[in-house]
Chains A and B, each alone.
Chain A
């Protein structure tokens, strides 16, 4: 499988075999440090929108492989303020770097950037559309903590309507015969288009607003934040904020080997008291981002085949 010069834009662009290959290379990256693999290579991180985990983990991944990083962490400091188009910005940056990671508030921006650039582009989040490296680290984490990806019972909890993370995750996991439990208030349930897609693929799913009714069936519980910024009306937000709060009261109602994931940041969805339990894997999940991004950088730069 040759990933040289490949853009990483959307989880829809990847087959099951390709996802498994990325997991395999990520594992290799976790096991063996390769401090000179990307020596003399430059990653440009163009973050037009703020991010902590993603940007730092891309930076750390590149530096751990001996590469250098240039870039910016907020759209406010760029020539975009002067009216420069994204296309022109990318045309300039491709001359300064070997690979580009971009986060941008507009949907489709990463695809356009990839078309402008002759260097590989990694999408680090385009508005509410895609965040493929997050999805890849999510499935890497699941593989690691469960030892498999096939035939798992997976609960997705919280904001399933607006959360791009859960949408991409559902698409990726659909390759592995999952059973999904969509746990959300009606107003924040999974969009119909995704349910149609699952029906077409004959994948089992249950819609259940009450976590306690399904909690003992789950192998993975993927919690998400109810995103304040998506609600036009603050009163609406207050209604849903805190509807799901995972704490010690949940423990008698779950399988012993249930793993709880969360893309972070969390607000109050998961109580700190769960952090020390065997169930909590969300910090490990964030750490896995490094291995997966190292794998992707090495792959698209043609250093691993």
Chain B
């Protein structure tokens, strides 16, 4: 099976997320919350990838991604590409990018942070892109990738 066949074949309209690190494929699915989605969803993972070793691909028919979803995906799959499909063709190909600010995307890992003790929005600044480091707007704690938990 070639990557080309996997990445763009089956759906008529929708979104293909490619170059997800294999270990994050199911996490990306969680972000998309597709349990109620009634159109085609196909998932492949542990595929060989020259770029990232082992990768996953998710294809979702009849669905586009919100900015919030793309931001979340960027955190766990920084090399992912998002292909927008129309009439079986890739209409647009985007690289995900971690934005400078993350609002209500992740949770602070500091149990003593006000955001974990009072219902409030969370906000983080990205201090370093790769490997990712973020700083809580409120408690100023810097978190590395392993501490990052999505809201």
Contact = CB atoms under 8 A, between A and B. Distances in A.
B141 interface: yes
B119 A108 contact: no
Contacts, number: 53
A254 B140 CA distance: 36
Contacts of B112: 105-107, 127-128
Contacts of A10: 140
Contacts of B141: 107, 129
Q: What interface size band does chain B fall in?
A: 10 to 19
Contacts of A105: 112
A221 to B, nearest CB: 27
A111 B137 contact: yes
A108 B107 CA distance: 14
Nearest to A111: B138
A10 B136 CA distance: 13
Interface residues of A, number: 19
Nearest to B141: A107
The dominant DSSP class at the B interface is loop
Interface in A80-116: 85-87, 104-109, 111-112
B97 interface: no
A112 B112 CA distance: 14
Interface in A157-214: 193
B65 interface: no
Interface of A: 10, 12, 85-87, 104-109, 111-112, 126-130, 193
27 contacts: A10-B140, A85-B118, A85-B119, A86-B114, A87-B118, A106-B112, A106-B113, A106-B114, A106-B117, A107-B110, A107-B112, A107-B113, A107-B114, A107-B138, A107-B140, A108-B113, A108-B136, A108-B138, A109-B138, A112-B114, A112-B118, A112-B120, A112-B138, A126-B139, A127-B139, A129-B141, A130-B140
